[in-house]
Amino acid sequence: MNVVETSGLAKRYRRTWALRDCNLSVPAGRIVALVGPNGAGKTTLLHCAVGLCTATNGNITVLGDLGAGSLEALERVAFVAQDAPLHKYLSVRSMVAVARNLNPRFDQAQAEERLRGLEIPPDRKVGKLSGGQQAQLALTLALARDPDLLVLDEPLARLDPLARHDFMALVMAGVAASGFSVIFSSHVVSELERFADYLIVLANGRVQMVGDIDDLLTSHAVLSGPAEESDLVGEQFTVVQTRKATRHAEILVRTTGESRLPSGWESDDVSLEELVLAYLRDPSASMLPGPLATNELEVNEVAR
């Protein structure tokens, strides 16, 4: 079962396309990192998945064949929005009560236990909690809904390193206990490898790279050798990015099998951060199951 599946998904806000021709199949049981620069369409994609936005074209289903935003999907998909918006004038206890009454599967005892563990006082107004505590509260409420899919939009953006760690620890504990799938967006690429096992890279509203992180890493390598031979070596591989100095060159390539390197050349593993940044720097590079068409003309037509 795919927890999120899109076909030809596109979303336009007035004259701007936030998402275009997005085809994705995210398998169940994965922790998916959705990365991309600001304005890449991450939030739009997640909003479409939780029913907060309606597609302009194409369609999106969740948890098999449930329409995103349908009543059954709402019951089974938990969402923590960017900046964890909660009713700031309510006490933590009232906020828990609101979530309990709105969700048939809500586990109040679990929520209260987690909040005790996080030392969040139940009588304190939500607005008086720190940013980290508000994020933890929002996540606690989402986890207590017993979701099959947890969607997190930039959950780490406003958190300090310690709060980030605590937040993701809570997510991982929830996954270990209940086995739900997670999709979280982030532009903090350096920390993805510790949490995620599946990656989606979005750029300019299009899916640029998607796949199992281990597979992506093993199918890429950094080749380094004399700069004058870089073009010759590049011809043997699909080059994602080339960096040349006067005498030395580094080429990030997609490897398809065993290839022989000329003498003087070395092959190294690529880090996830390096890989993601390389793809983001070159919007024409893609690593997709399907074709990637860049038709700027269409975008311009809409903008006009």
> CA nearest 44: which of 274, 207, 266?
207
What is the per-residue DSSP string for 60-87?
Answer: EEETTTEETTSHHHHHHEEEE-TT----
List the one residue from 25, 89, 259, 303 that touches another protein (CB under 8 A): 89
List the one residue from 54, 108, 256, 295 that touches another protein (CB under 8 A): 54
Tell me whether residue 77 or residue 202 sits nearer to another protein (CB atom).
Answer: 77
Which stretch, 111-119, 155-163, 179-187, 260-268, contacts another protein (CB under 8 A)?
Answer: 179-187
Q: How many CB atoms lie within 10 A of CB 297?
A: 7
Helical ranges in the chain per DSSP H: 42-49, 71-76, 92-102, 108-117, 131-143, 161-178, 192-195, 213-218, 230-234, 272-281, 296-303
Q: How far apart are CA 108 and CA 100, in angstroms?
A: 7
List the one residue from 39, 57, 58, 98 that touches another protein (CB under 8 A): 98
CA distances to 4, 57, 112 from 20, rounded to whole Å, are 16, 9, 42
List the one residue from 87, 116, 244, 281 that touches another protein (CB under 8 A): 87
List the one residue from 29, 117, 289, 290 that touches another protein (CB under 8 A): 29
List the one residue from 8, 25, 59, 85 that touches another protein (CB under 8 A): 85
Q: Output the smallest distance, CB 157 to another protein, in A.
A: 14
Q: Is 256 an interacting residue with respect to another protein (CB under 8 A)?
A: no
Beta strands 31-35 and 57-62 are: unpaired
Q: How far apart are CA 95 and CA 89, in angstroms?
A: 9
Q: Is 76 an interacting residue with respect to another protein (CB under 8 A)?
A: yes
Task: Identify the H or E element spanning 252.
Answer: strand 248-254
Q: Is 181 an interacting residue with respect to another protein (CB under 8 A)?
A: yes
Q: Is 52 an interacting residue with respect to another protein (CB under 8 A)?
A: yes
List the one residue from 9, 19, 31, 207 that touches another protein (CB under 8 A): 31
List the one residue from 8, 25, 71, 128 that touches another protein (CB under 8 A): 71
Angle subtended at Cα 82 by Cα 152 and Cα 15, rounded to the nearest 5 degrees? 105
- Contact residues toward another protein (CB under 8 A) are 1, 3, 28-31, 47, 50-54, 63-64, 71-72, 74-79, 81, 83, 85-90, 94, 97-99, 101-106, 138, 145, 148-149, 172, 175-176, 178-181, 193-197, 213
